[in-house]
Structure 1
């Protein structure tokens, strides 16, 4: 089964009315190649995660630079040099949430490493070519974050067989998901919902959200195979909550 070569046509996000553009890391983000993976089994360990916050893709709006005294807001004001100027309240240090390193779903063959995935040159979420690894969207929330959706995606099949993520569509509510983390205790989630989302109605605003209640989203392809598109018709999206 040939992997899709035109990711621009896959998972086209739809702009959501009222969504804050600055909160979306990638307004045009798509998932790439979940329909077919290499049959080779990866033997390399997962690479370590960077501790610093990754940059947003270039299509994300950038916050405006702060205006210095004497800028457009008004004339310059000369502060007494003997009095140091500093914020009244020091900014709080950002909390670093460890990235995921493994994923296990009870009652299935899903027991695999998780590696960071960024954004490809075509605007697609990067997913490993091999079927025995999944990717976490490293520009969004991590499992265990205070808010937002942590997204982990993987392939549904290989060129000759089904991949472990093909089991996602059949998960029952309450199924236990365990996420291993880099240098931190593992987390447990429970499935609350499994849905099919048509790719031509893909809502990236809800999947890749950074605010709201924390959830884990597991994503792969699903629905019908469309020969004319060399792609599946839908996405399978599993939503799980801590617990």
Structure 2
């Protein structure tokens, strides 16, 4: 978990890609080495880092077969002025549990990859909270938490997200030891082509919790799922 957020002197902008998905051949170990990059708002180099992986050295042998494409879903985030040094933050989330499911996972704060993508935890038993947006328990705006749904070999806890009933209780544990309780108000599959990122990542209006993974049909020719599963929960 990141210890502190540097001040953002510039606007946070552009398209965030939500993946809670993985269609890759990984071991059954609960800490698979998969990264699902998500195009995300850009930030200054002192926050997200600016290093880019160096190219592999030239070789006369044939290159290895590339891994399967990563599932993606485009979501546009409106330009926001941000200065974390001037904005007090709520305690960060550290756990997420959804009643009646196997979804009981650690939550880590995630930022932006070197390729301007939102980070998603490698482990299928962790979820990522987008730390440049509102926190759970904020006065306004949406707190967004996302995770992988499966691998080629295993169905993971977040595969149950699509079946969560309205009225289900969602509990978010905070780093200060408190817990926040939400009630599910809506669960739906949203085609990735129509996902409204401005709504998902909004920073104003009534506070909501958004829990997101992938769903719908796996489109092998595109290396992606057709939909995102979006759960909306309201504070109690």
Same structural fold, with TM-score higher than 0.5 when normalized by the shorter chain: yes
Seen in structure 2, the aligned counterparts of structure 1 residues 26 and 61 have a Cα distance that, compared at 3 Å, is closer
* Correspondences of 1:229-240 after superposition (within 5 Å): 229-240=222-233
1:105 to 98, 113, 130: 98
Q: Which has the higher strand share?
A: 2
Choose 1 or 2 for highest CA Rg.
Answer: 1
Alignment partner, residue 140 of structure 1: 133
Mapped partners of 1:239, 1:219: distance in 2 = 9
Asked if 2 retains the 8 angstrom alpha-carbon contact of 1:98 and 1:184, the reply is no
Mapped partners of 2:79, 2:162: distance in 1 = 35
Three-state SS of the structure 2 residue aligned to 1:165 is: helix
TM-score, structure 2 length as denominator? 0.70
Shift of 1:60: 8.1
Unaligned stretches of 5+ residues in structure 2: 1-10, 33-40, 45-76
Mapped partners of 1:187, 1:104: distance in 2 = 11
1:196 to 189, 194, 202: 189
Three-state SS of the structure 1 residue aligned to 2:15 is: coil
Alignment partner, residue 121 of structure 2: 128
List per-residue Cα deviations over 1:118-164 (Å, max 9, x = no partner): 12233322111121110000100010000000000011112311110
Unaligned stretches of 5+ residues in structure 1: 1-23, 44-54, 64-92
Mapped partners of 1:34, 1:26: distance in 2 = 23
Seen in structure 2, the aligned counterparts of structure 1 residues 184 and 33 have a Cα distance that, compared at 3 Å, is closer
Three-state SS of the structure 1 residue aligned to 2:161 is: helix
Asked if 2 retains the 8 angstrom alpha-carbon contact of 1:34 and 1:154, the reply is yes
Alignment partner, residue 149 of structure 2: 156
Asked if 2 retains the 8 angstrom alpha-carbon contact of 1:27 and 1:205, the reply is no
Mapped partners of 2:185, 2:78: distance in 1 = 31
Mapped partners of 2:141, 2:42: distance in 1 = 16
- Structure 1: 4+ residue segments shifted above 4 A: 58-63
Tell me which moved more, 210-219 or 123-132: 123-132
Mapped partners of 1:132, 1:168: distance in 2 = 14
TM-score, structure 1 length as denominator? 0.68
Seen in structure 2, the aligned counterparts of structure 1 residues 121 and 32 have a Cα distance that, compared at 3 Å, is farther
Aligned length: 180
Does 2:172 align with 1:179? yes
Shift of 1:62: 7.6
Shift of 1:96: 2.1
